[in-house]
Amino acid sequence: MTGASGIDGPIAIVGGAGFIGSNLAESFLLDGREVVVVDTLCRPGVEANLAWLKARFGDRIRHAATDVRDADGLASVLAPAGAVFHLAAQVAVTTSLDNPRADFDVNAAGTLNVLEAVRRAGARAPVIFASTNKVYGGLEDLDMTAEGDRHVPADPTLRDRGVPETRGLDFCTPYGCSKGVADQYVLDYAKSFGLRTAVLRMSCIYGPRQFGTEDQGWVAHFLIKAMKGEPITIFGDGRQVRDVLHVRDAVAAYRTLLDRIDEVSGTAFNLGGGPRNAVSLKEVLGEIRSITGRDVALGHERWRTGDQLWFVADTGLLEKTVGWTQTIGWREGLRDLGAWLRESGPASVRTAPSEPQSELRRVMA
């Protein structure tokens, strides 16, 4: 079937049972598209996302438990695809430090396997890759200052606009290296082999269907722990700033790039909440106290390797090129995530005292 994007064949989402992948899959399934979820289900909680998709959409979703490290298996699964979204990854900096080899095999070699699978199939399917702001390194060269509950750059232009794609790449930690290598391979396959590829360098994405942990998905992790009445560990001083983006806005960006792939092929874009949704850990914790109606118990540990004091993405290139923009503010989005957790999250969260359903959740339901 040919959909609105002019793509003939099923949509393959590598890592499609994950947080962003399952939301992206839902959006295509709601449009009547067929979706292939390629996922080993190795991340705890994602099997619930796959079960949810299957219960809602039945035979229009197909699951392939193929590992990205299995080049031949991946080639077979992706051969019929009309488009490929590659979101599968080893996602934790801490895990990459413990086992750099495994991190490389999944993130760097696994991405090469995805690209080769599409090339072997005739380079017909566009490939859109989920990269990370970690490709810009720790930003240690920036002159930073603490203002209230935030670390911010002394440079007012950087503070107002964020980090642009023109900033030099500076891979840091094995995770940053492996994702950075993958990022560059995806872009080069457009130059060297004519694949239609694009890259989204993501900041902190959050929202429904996210089962956050201490190592990855910190917004959901904080909210889950608080709703369960459990303590939260802060690494560093809590003034770290990130530009958080609701998953609904992230899905819109991925889909817009697919719609405009012939114009954007070979380009990397930042994807984040930008200055309007820049917030510190302390500020998120304050909002969580308001949502839960109780204090949050905090523990403190030393800074972690590779942690940026501040990262805010300049999303101007994405906005100007394809017309994308953020639509959901971080406070509204955090309450939406809280409402989803109470309705559909872990049982220990659903049994916590209830909060009124957010207006956004009523709109999205």
Q: Length of the chain in residues, anyone? A: 365
Q: Is residue 303 part of a domain?
A: yes
Contacts of 309 (CB under 8 A, 6+ apart): 139, 142, 144, 151, 239, 240, 241
Q: Phi/psi at 264 (nearest 5 deg)?
A: -105, 0
| Residue 80 buriedness (CB in 10 A; 0-12 / 13-18 / 19+) | middle
With respect to residue 4, please indicate whether it lies within any of the assigned structural domains.
Answer: no
Q: How far apart are CA 24 and CA 45, in angstroms?
A: 17
Q: Which residues are catalytic?
A: 175
Structure token pair of residue 168: 């030099």
If you compute the radius of gyration of the chain from its CA atoms, what whole number of angstroms results?
20
Domain of 181 in residue numbering reads as 11-364
Measured CA to CA, the distance from residue 263 to residue 267 in angstroms comes to 9
pLDDT at residue 94, as a whole number:
86
User: Minimal CA–CA distance to 191: which of 253, 104, 117, 123?
Assistant: 123
DSSP states along 58-81: GGGEEEE---TT-HHHHHHHHTT-
- Would residue 282 count as lying in a domain? yes
Return the structure tokens found at 55: 């219960």
| Beta-carbon count within 10 A of 3 CB | 18
- 141 touches 294 (CB < 8 A): no
Pick the closest to residue 63 from 13, 124, 20 (CA basis): 13
Beta-carbon-side half-sphere exposure of residue 26 (alpha carbons within 13 Å): 22
**Could you tell me which of 359, 363, 358 has the C-alpha nearest to residue 223?**
358
Instruction: Going residue by residue through the chain, which has 365 residues, state the pLDDT in tens, using 9 for 90 and above.
Output: 334 457 889 999 999 999 999 999 999 999 999 999 999 999 888 999 999 999 999 999 999 999 999 999 999 999 999 999 999 999 888 899 999 999 999 999 999 999 999 999 999 999 999 999 999 998 999 999 999 999 999 999 999 999 999 999 999 899 999 999 999 999 999 999 999 999 999 999 999 999 887 777 899 999 999 999 999 999 999 999 999 999 999 999 999 999 999 999 999 999 999 999 999 999 999 999 999 998 999 999 999 877 889 999 999 999 999 999 999 999 999 999 999 999 887 665 765 554 444 444 443 43
Q: Is residue 2 part of a domain?
A: no
* Pair 253, 326: CB distance under 8 Å: no
In a domain, 47, yes or no: yes
**Model-level pTM?**
0.92
**Considering its fold, how many domains does the chain have in total?**
1
Whether 1 is in a domain gets the answer no
> CA 216 to CA 39: how far, in whole Å?
18
CA distance 193 to 251: 27
| Contacts of 96 by beta carbon, 8 Å cutoff, 6+ apart | 90, 103, 173, 174, 175, 178
Give me the amino acid identity at 258: L
Residues ≥6 apart with Cβ < 8 Å to 245: 202, 203, 204, 205, 206, 271, 272, 273, 277, 326
Tell me whether residue 153 is in a domain.
yes
Beta bridge partners of 127: 84, 197
Full 3-state SS string of 257-287:
HHHCHHHHCCEEEEECCCHHHEEEHHHHHHH
How many angstroms separate the CA atoms of 151 and 311, rounded?
A: 10
From the number of C-beta atoms within 10 Å of its C-beta (0-12, 13-18, 19+), residue 111 rates as: buried
Token pair of 80 as six digits: 């019929």
The Cα 180–Cα 110 span in angstroms is 13
Residue among 29, 33, 25, 119 nearest 79 (CA)? 119
Q: Is residue 3 part of a domain?
A: no
Backbone angles phi and psi of 116, in degrees to 5: -65, -35
Domain CATH for 265: 3.40.50.720
